[in-house]
Structure 1
Amino acid sequence: MKVADIHKNAYAMPVHNPSYPRPPFRFLNREYFIISYETDIDALRAVVPEPLTVDSGLVHYEFIRMPDSSGFGNYTESGQVISVIDDEGRKAGYTHAMYLDDEGPIAGGREIWGFPKKLASPRLSIDGNDTLLGTLDYGTQRVATGTMGYKFRPLNIEAERRKLADTPNYLLKVIPHVDGSPRICELVRFYLRDVTVLGAWEGPAALELQAHALAPVADLPVRKVVGARHVVANLTLDIGEVAYDYLAPDEALKLAVNQ
């Protein structure tokens, strides 16, 4: 294999049989169930990376059903997004944890953008006739259960579209060197593009998180549920950009000076 061939195909691993195609990725009928809750500020400050700062004590626990995803297929994920302020003073989301049931988007999400993805068993369904139900199992253990009244009240479609399309999203991407030291250590920013919201609702909700050593979602405990929404949308997960390089000497110096 020539050097030019290596460069041409070095977008995914394994090079001869990649787990996913090149981004961006298009999602149709992507279904969000998001429960927003208050947690401990100190717990958030311990996990939110500089230069992001904690906006409030707000965490968004998500169950997301993706039945039609270009390159990734049909899968479900669940996890936590923390409300933050970025270094430009904008309200943003920092993805803290994600658990999903498909190898392709686990590999692609981690390798391209730095999504904190692990293999687990999330589910999103209608329970009985009137309850939207989200669950997350890690192995045989239930670690998260979310419920919401199904389509209780409609939400403004355009307002929900703006939330998805206009909010910057941040990730901490880490790839080690072959000696175990950090080779890539970056704060990555990405946006969702070409967003069309097909439906959006709110309703009464509840969230229960259980302690688990390898799926520690309960380390950000639920103090108070403040709202929940159910959104169905078509959108594109765009390529990302490096917002901050922790290994660049000048960037590291800036953080040290601000301590």
Structure 2
Amino acid sequence: MTRLSLASIRQDAFAMPVHNPAYPRPPYRFINREYFVISYQTDFEALRAIVPEPLLPENDLVHYEFIRMPDSSGFGDYTETGQVISVRDEDGRLGNYTHSMYLDDEGPIAGGRELWGFPKKLARPTLSVDGNDTLLGTLDYGTQRIATGTMGYKHLPLDIEAERKKLAETPNYLLKVIPHVDGSARVCELVRFYLRDVSVLGAWTGPAGLELHSHALAPVADLPVKRVVGARHVIANLTLDIGEVALDYLAAAESMKLAVNR
């Protein structure tokens, strides 16, 4: 049996566990990925407090997402839910900042957090059709119901090309933090990524409602619902591409420190 050498570790190591990673290498292809997104007004100061610099919240809207992924390469069949905020970057480009995510599959939790910095936690989200005419999304954390979203099922069609452009052309941002062995931050980055090879199979809207409940470990209600302003239901095929570092906070802090000491 050959030894796990320095050279082989450097060449082959990719993710944990090193001998049997929890997920394969990216990118990942999703077929029939189903989005149910409810946009609602919240407290603008609460948004400002959670959006990392240099990003700025575009308005007082939060986009609460329920997503079914029945066919995803490497990850299989799972569901997730969470909150996305419209932001502007330093160049004034409109983008999406993902604030929270809850899902039911260990592989994409580990891969999403370690590769891109998705803020993923283990929970039990669902997305289904309820009572024949209602699109229903739910989130349970432990035994507690944290979120319930509803929409009239396929009431009005949306422009498929407009929905494709939203998915394909909008930059997405994440705050990636990985700790050092001493508990300090070893990686602290603003990550940017895009969705590629997007084809929208259908898109609809309808009347919608959203209810969020307070929870210490799943604080989605910290961005409270003031008023639901719209919803959309989109089914698409797409590829989750690799990301890029938009800002290295640790390097930026070191540069500022050096500049001060000169």
TM range (shorter): over 0.9
Give the distance between the partners of 1:99 and 1:9, measured in 2 at CA. 30
Which residue in the other structure is 1:171 paired with? Answer: 174
Give the distance between the partners of 1:204 and 1:171, measured in 2 at CA. 30
Amino acid at match of 2:194: Y
Give the distance between the partners of 1:130 and 1:249, measured in 2 at CA. 51
Amino acid at match of 1:83: S
Which residue in the other structure is 1:47 paired with? Answer: 50
Superposed displacement of residue 249, structure 1: 3.8
Count of residues paired in the alignment: 256
SS state of the match for residue 229, structure 2? Answer: strand
Matched, 1:10 2:13: yes
Give the distance between the partners of 1:157 and 1:252, measured in 2 at CA. 45
Superposed displacement of residue 4, structure 1: 2.2
Q: How does 1:37-76 map to 2 (within 5 A)?
A: 37-76=40-79
Q: CA RMSD in A?
A: 1.5
Q: TM-score, normalised by structure 1?
A: 0.96
Match of 1:25 among 16, 19, 28: 28
Deviation digits for residues 198-257 of structure 1 (CA, Å, limit 9, x no counterpart): 000000000000000000000000011110000000000000000001001467639x99
Deviation digits for residues 76-133 of structure 1 (CA, Å, limit 9, x no counterpart): 0000001111111011100000000000000000000000000000000000110000
Give the distance between the partners of 1:221 and 1:24, measured in 2 at CA. 34
Match of 2:227 among 224, 231, 251: 224
Matched, 1:94 2:97: yes
Q: TM-score, normalised by structure 2?
A: 0.95
Match of 1:202 among 201, 205, 228: 205
Which residue in the other structure is 1:188 paired with? Answer: 191
Matched, 1:124 2:127: yes
Identity %: 79
Matched, 1:154 2:157: yes
SS state of the match for residue 46, structure 1? Answer: helix
Q: Given the superposition, is the C-alpha separation of residues 180 and 159 from structure 1 closer, same or farther in structure 2, using an over 3 Å criterion?
A: same
| Structure 2 gap ranges (5+) | none
Runs of 4 or more consecutive aligned structure 1 residues displaced over 6 Å after TM superposition: none
Q: Given the superposition, is the C-alpha separation of residues 226 and 7 from structure 1 closer, same or farther in structure 2, using an over 3 Å criterion?
A: same
Q: Which entry has the higher C-alpha Rg, 1 or 2?
A: 2
| Structure 1 gap ranges (5+) | none
Asked if structure 2 preserves the Cα contact closer than 8 Å seen for 1:245 and 1:251, the reply is no
